[in-house]
Amino acid sequence: MSLFSPAYPRPIWRISLDGRDLADLINPRFMSLSLTETRDDQADQLSLNLSDHDGLLEIPPRGAVIRLAMGWSTTGLVDKGSFTVDETGHRGAPDMVSLRARSADMTGPLRTRTERSFHGKTIRQVVNEVALAHGLTAVVGQEFANKVIKHIDQTNESDAAFLKRVGKRYDAVATIKDGKLLFMPVRGAKTASGQDMPVWEVLRRDGDQHEFLTTGRDAYTGVKAFWMDPRKQVRRSVMVGVTGNVKHLRDTYANEVDALAAAQSEWQRIRRGLSTMRFVMAAGIPQLSVQHKILFPDMKSPINEIEWLIRELTHSVDESGLTTNLDLEMFDKEDASAEDDAIELE
């Protein structure tokens, strides 16, 4: 691990394979690693490149479980969880062994299409049932604990796709981290253990590069969702935002509650995307993860006026050091209010 002078903080890491510390094997051969954490339905991905200059390094088997910790020599290691190897390779010159591992086996049962229905169950019950089927522990945001889904069908749909759809309806993150199936509100910013994420202040001098972008607020003024009123045989709609350039959701929902949840979720997603920020940290912070909130207090307006939410980040270690690339979006604090109207069916 002595790629760097002992007089300065240097990146450190620990990698174990199926519970066995691989320091003696990996450290002399280490070339680079990167860990990409994402809020989307894709699993977190670990990439590792090792030198095979002497031809003696074996290609690891697929399915092996790797555990990663990384950090700085002055502050210690941060546990980043476990990952299942699903891709290995060899290339050259120079000869090297490469592997990719993910926080969930996205080629296995999670991607297998199935059919079932949930009726009158809470979101926690639905997520827990899916988690148990895959040997995972469900961690569900408290606001979803008692929220009832009157009826939802999973038709020729994988569990991964199904959870993504449910998450989109309720503006939630459905993802797998270190053996846990998380279903958390995007606005809530919770850890895998359900604790509130801390807010980090990042200064301009902490970064090598940044890019701030903002889009026009007149792109959409609101979102409208439709639902069926069975008593009066009318198709009703509920809208969040204000009238004008309103986005219409294509699905027709079974009831007003589901329609409202879908409209609010989409409106919040749209508003978060109004401003985005990319920031490359010269000295990476491995404690950061997706859903952390970030402030940039010494940057110019309006950057320093926005509370930011990490949507994706990549921690990288190579001969140049440990860096962290942040992909952020605006954290919208405003709640969406709704209006309701009715459209008679012909």
Q: What is the domain count for the chain?
A: 3
Is 208 found in the same domain as 341? yes
CATH of the domain at 168: 3.55.50.30
In a domain, 2, yes or no: no
Is 315 found in the same domain as 251? yes
Measured CA to CA in angstroms, residue 341 lies from 170, 228, 229, 242, 244 at distances of: 21, 12, 11, 13, 15
Per-residue pLDDT of the chain in tens (346 residues, 90 and over written 9): 334 445 578 899 999 987 788 888 888 999 999 999 987 667 889 999 999 999 888 888 888 888 999 999 998 999 998 898 989 999 888 899 999 998 876 556 777 888 899 988 999 999 999 999 888 889 888 888 888 888 888 888 988 889 888 988 888 888 887 788 888 888 766 655 556 677 899 999 998 899 999 876 557 888 999 988 888 778 899 999 888 888 999 888 888 888 888 898 888 888 888 889 999 998 999 999 888 899 999 999 999 999 999 999 999 999 889 999 999 998 876 654 445 554 444 3
Q: State how far the Cα of 330 lies from the Cα of 308, in Å rounded to an integer.
A: 5
Is 151 found in the same domain as 97? no
Burial profile 205-243: b = 16 or more Cβ within 10 angstroms, e = fewer: ebbeebebeeeeeeebbbbbbbbbeeeeeeebbbbbbee
Among 79, 103, 127, give the residue marking a domain's end: 103
Q: What is the pLDDT of residues 303-345, one digit of tens each?
A: 999 999 999 999 999 988 999 999 999 887 665 444 555 444 4
In a domain, 3, yes or no: no
Q: Is the pTM of this model over 0.85?
A: no
Residue 187's nearest CA partner among 233, 142, 137, 132 is: 142
Q: What is the pLDDT of residues 261-276, one digit of tens each?
A: 889 888 888 888 888 9
Among 139, 159, 185, give the residue marking a domain's end: 185
Is 98 found in the same domain as 125? no
Is 331 found in the same domain as 221? yes
Is 22 found in the same domain as 80? yes
Domain that holds residue 130: 109-185
Is 257 found in the same domain as 324? yes
Q: State how far the Cα of 274 lies from the Cα of 25, in Å rounded to an integer.
A: 47
In a domain, 228, yes or no: yes
In a domain, 1, yes or no: no
Is 216 found in the same domain as 168? no
Is 300 found in the same domain as 203? yes
- CA 10, distance to chain mean position in Å, is 28
Q: State how far the Cα of 294 lies from the Cα of 304, in Å rounded to an integer.
A: 10
In a domain, 129, yes or no: yes
Is 288 found in the same domain as 247? yes
In a domain, 113, yes or no: yes
Is 224 found in the same domain as 305? yes
In a domain, 4, yes or no: no
CATH of the domain at 39: 2.30.300.10
Is 285 found in the same domain as 227? yes
In a domain, 194, yes or no: no
